[in-house]
């Protein structure tokens, strides 16, 4: 007590670590930008506040993207990779890679959400702010070198997401899935934190660099505490990336959340989880490689198989995409399982292509929902889409085929590279499971991809039980007129921002699938600090 009083009475200035603001500039831009959006939207007249907040939010994401790209060019010079903020945050090519990825996803989400979020005027500001803040948390996760900072990022990311999922006020399913996500997310955060505590107990530090040094230089007499801590961290992050057996929340939440939010969640939250997983296990726990690598292999195998098999029996498009994203998570884990630089590069390439594809795919689903005028699209509802909305049908099919790994899309090289990395690390059984699951997955991908080209009349009976109302059957006689009207609606709404997002995703997916060299070399160069 007297020590405390003496401490208080003394005026000796505390020593602060030097802070390099430029290293965490993308996070800062996101946070400051979010507050600026908050301020400006509350000061401008109400009728323009929606347009102002969306425009300003997109601008913030754009500035963050520009700064991330600037950092990426900076990090090309030797010695640019370093730990900053007293070793708590890394500024390396890996972190910068994710800065760029998260900025792009935030920008796409904001543009898609402008059209596709069913929000009243005041709420759209909150949507923008939460997306920006959530992205800043994801960036912090990707660059954290300290487990506590990592947890901070995880919480910033997750808490914003819980709210985003329940954003639409007339969407009961969204609220239900928000509660589910919140409960399971809370559990996983707690488990993660307990793991951090155990790792701290075993190694005496929460800093990944110091954990690595300790583990490399000391032989632990009994490593139970450390292994339990590692396992719990794996479980906590496994929830975020929806790896089997921690995947149960994913289908419900993906289905219930508004489509742009689902795309954001599937891209950002998953990529952030993988960034953290790669960073923690490669930077910190690599001396215990022989303990965690087999575990990752088992999880990867089960994730790929369960995701592919359960997707086959789904009837809802978003639910199918959710299982497909579980399947994809297994492939990304495969790169981690390879435990080589090649594997990390393959995982990162998979992540960036998958993020673009999934944001585009869910934006497309949102746009299809809008065209069909209902929330929740069954696979049967896609019948005749190629006539009703040719652009949407084309984009949907492209993005689905990219997920299936069709050649001339980014998805092909992504899958090929991770499997190749696993094979070159001599992990044949899991590589085999990967190929089998990819074959199973092709079935449901093709089922979804072919549905827009089927004619409505053939499936009129089967889609009647899928919720066709009396009106539909009444107007069934003059359906030609209906189709014509809907084409004109589609043509009119051609140039909204959601269309831009979808088109960008399609162009990137096909363009970088054919001209693949640059992106692969970027992903391969995005190595960790240590």
Partner 1 sequence: MIQYLPILVLVILATLFAGLSIFASALMSPKKPNPAKSAPYECGIIPSHEPPERFPVRFFLVAMIFVVFDIEIIFIYPYAVISKSLGTFGVVEMLVFGVTMFAAFLYLVSNGALNWGRIRRSRDGDSTYEARTSSSTIRRVSSGEKTAA
Least distance (Å) from partner 1 to the CB of residue 32?
A: 9
43 near partner 1 (CB under 8 A): yes
Q: Shortest CA distance to 147 belongs to which of 102, 103, 212, 97?
A: 212
Q: Which stretch binds partner 1 (CB under 8 A): 31-39, 297-305, 310-318, 489-497?
A: 31-39
CA dist list (Å): 516 to 332, 360, 511, 520: 18, 19, 8, 6
Parallel, antiparallel or unpaired: strands 82-84 and 89-91: antiparallel
Residue in 2, 3, 6, 14 binding partner 1, rule: CB under 8 A: 14
Q: Which stretch binds partner 1 (CB under 8 A): 4-12, 177-185, 390-398, 402-410?
A: 4-12
10 near partner 1 (CB under 8 A): yes
- Beta partners for residue 159, in sequence order: none
3-state SS class at 78: coil
Closest to partner 1 by CB, 14 or 470: 14
Binding mask 121-150 for partner 1 (x = CB under 8 A): -x--x-------------------------
12 near partner 1 (CB under 8 A): yes
Closest to partner 1 by CB, 39 or 483: 39
Task: Tell which positions 468-487 bind partner 1, by CB under 8 A.
Answer: none
3-state SS class at 87: coil
13 near partner 1 (CB under 8 A): yes
Q: Which stretch binds partner 1 (CB under 8 A): 6-14, 306-314, 405-413, 436-444?
A: 6-14
- Alpha-helical segments (H) within 77-171: 93-116, 121-143, 147-165
Residue in 20, 21, 42, 511 binding partner 1, rule: CB under 8 A: 42
Closest to partner 1 by CB, 40 or 420: 40
Which residue is listed with tokens 């869910």?
Answer: 362
Residue in 23, 27, 41, 501 binding partner 1, rule: CB under 8 A: 41
H or E segment and range at residue 84: strand 82-84
Q: Which stretch binds partner 1 (CB under 8 A): 38-46, 136-144, 416-424, 477-485?
A: 38-46
Closest to partner 1 by CB, 45 or 518: 45
222 near partner 1 (CB under 8 A): no
DSSP state of 14: P
Closest to partner 1 by CB, 35 or 190: 35
CA 299 – CA 27 distance, rounded (Å): 32
HEC states along 437-492? HHHHHHHHHHHHHHHHHCCCCCCHHHHHCCCCCHHHHHCCCCHHHHHHHHHHHHHH
Q: Which stretch binds partner 1 (CB under 8 A): 41-49, 87-95, 168-176, 318-326?
A: 41-49
CA 229 – CA 251 distance, rounded (Å): 28
Binding mask 87-126 for partner 1 (x = CB under 8 A): -----------------------------------x--x-
16 near partner 1 (CB under 8 A): yes
Closest to partner 1 by CB, 33 or 263: 33
Residue in 2, 6, 11, 469 binding partner 1, rule: CB under 8 A: 11
Least distance (Å) from partner 1 to the CB of residue 125?
A: 8
For the purposes of burial, counting CB atoms within 10 Å of the CB of 47, is it exposed (0-12), middle (13-18) or buried (19 or more)? exposed
Q: Which stretch binds partner 1 (CB under 8 A): 5-13, 217-225, 234-242, 301-309?
A: 5-13
Cβ atoms of 246 and 178 closer than 8 Å: no
Which residue is listed with tokens 């910190």?
Answer: 284
Least distance (Å) from partner 1 to the CB of residue 39?
A: 5
Closest to partner 1 by CB, 42 or 289: 42
Closest to partner 1 by CB, 15 or 221: 15
DSSP state of 380: G
Closest to partner 1 by CB, 39 or 514: 39
Closest to partner 1 by CB, 137 or 345: 137
Count of residues that bind partner 1 according to CB under 8 A = 16
Residue 5: how many other CB atoms lie within 10 Å: 9
H or E segment and range at residue 212: helix 208-217
DSSP symbols for 392-434: HHHHHHHHHHHHHT-TTSHHHHHHHHHHHHHHHTT-HHHHHHH
35 near partner 1 (CB under 8 A): yes
Structure tokens at 241: 């990336």
Structure tokens at 424: 């070159």
HEC states along 176-191? HHHHHHHHHHHHHHHH
Closest to partner 1 by CB, 173 or 175: 175
8 near partner 1 (CB under 8 A): yes
Closest to partner 1 by CB, 7 or 462: 7
Structure tokens at 296: 């990752």
H or E segment and range at residue 82: strand 82-84
In the complex, the residues that contact partner 1 under the rule CB under 8 A are 7-8, 10-14, 16, 35, 38-39, 41-43, 122, 125
């Amino acid at each position: 007590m007297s020590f405390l009083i003496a401490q208080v009475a003394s005026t000796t200035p505390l020593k602060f670590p030097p802070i390099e603001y430029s290293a965490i500039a993308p996070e800062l831009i996101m946070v400051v930008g979010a507050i600026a959006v908050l301020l400006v939207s509350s000061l401008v007249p109400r009728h323009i506040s929606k347009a102002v907040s969306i425009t300003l939010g997109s601008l913030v994401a754009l500035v963050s993207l520009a700064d991330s790209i600037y950092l990426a060019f900076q990090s090309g010079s030797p010695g640019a990779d370093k730990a900053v903020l007293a070793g708590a945050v890394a500024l390396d090519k890996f972190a910068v890679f994710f800065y760029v990825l998260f900025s792009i996803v935030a920008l796409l989400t904001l543009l898609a959400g402008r059209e596709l979020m069913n929000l009243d005027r005041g709420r759209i500001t909150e949507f923008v702010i939460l997306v920006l803040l959530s992205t800043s948390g994801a960036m912090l996760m990707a660059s954290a070198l300290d487990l506590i900072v990592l947890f901070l990022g995880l919480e910033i990311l997750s808490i914003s997401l819980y709210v985003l999922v329940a954003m639409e006020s007339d969407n009961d399913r969204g609220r239900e899935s928000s509660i589910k996500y919140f409960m399971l997310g809370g559990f996983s955060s707690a488990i993660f934190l307990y793991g951090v505590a155990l790792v701290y107990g075993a190694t005496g530090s929460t800093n990944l660099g110091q954990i690595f040094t300790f583990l490399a230089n000391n032989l632990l007499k009994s490593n139970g505490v450390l292994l339990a801590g590692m396992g719990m961290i794996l479980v906590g992050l496994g929830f975020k990336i929806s790896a089997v057996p921690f995947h149960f929340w994913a289908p419900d939440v993906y289905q219930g959340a508004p489509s742009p939010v689902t795309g954001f969640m599937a891209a950002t939250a998953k990529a952030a989880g993988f960034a953290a997983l790669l960073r923690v296990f490669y930077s910190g726990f690599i001396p215990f490689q022989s303990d965690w690598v087999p575990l990752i292999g088992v999880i990867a195998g089960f994730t790929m198989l369960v995701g592919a098999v359960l997707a086959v029996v789904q009837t809802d498009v978003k639910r199918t995409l959710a299982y497909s994203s579980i399947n994809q998570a297994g492939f990304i884990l495969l790169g981690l399982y390879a435990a080589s630089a090649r594997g990390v590069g393959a995982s990162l390439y998979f992540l960036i292509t998958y993020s673009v594809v999934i944001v585009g795919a869910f934006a497309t689903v949102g746009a299809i929902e809008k065209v069909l005028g209902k929330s929740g699209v069954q696979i049967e509802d896609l019948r005749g889409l190629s006539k009703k909305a040719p652009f949407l049908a084309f984009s949907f099919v492209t993005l689905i085929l990219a997920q299936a790994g069709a050649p001339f899309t980014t998805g092909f090289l992504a899958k090929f590279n991770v499997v190749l990395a696993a094979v070159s690390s001599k992990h044949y059984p899991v590589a085999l499971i990967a190929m089998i699951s990819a074959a199973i997955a092709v079935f449901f991908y093709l089922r979804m991809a072919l549905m827009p080209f089927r004619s409505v009349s053939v499936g009129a009976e089967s889609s009647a039980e899928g919720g066709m109302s009396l009106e539909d059957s009444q107007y069934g006689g003059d359906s030609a007129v209906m189709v014509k009207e809907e084409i004109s609606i589609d043509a009119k709404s051609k140039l909204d921002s959601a269309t831009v997002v979808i088109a960008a995703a399609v162009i990137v997916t096909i363009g970088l699938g054919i001209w693949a060299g640059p992106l692969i070399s970027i992903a391969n160069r995005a190595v960790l600090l240590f």
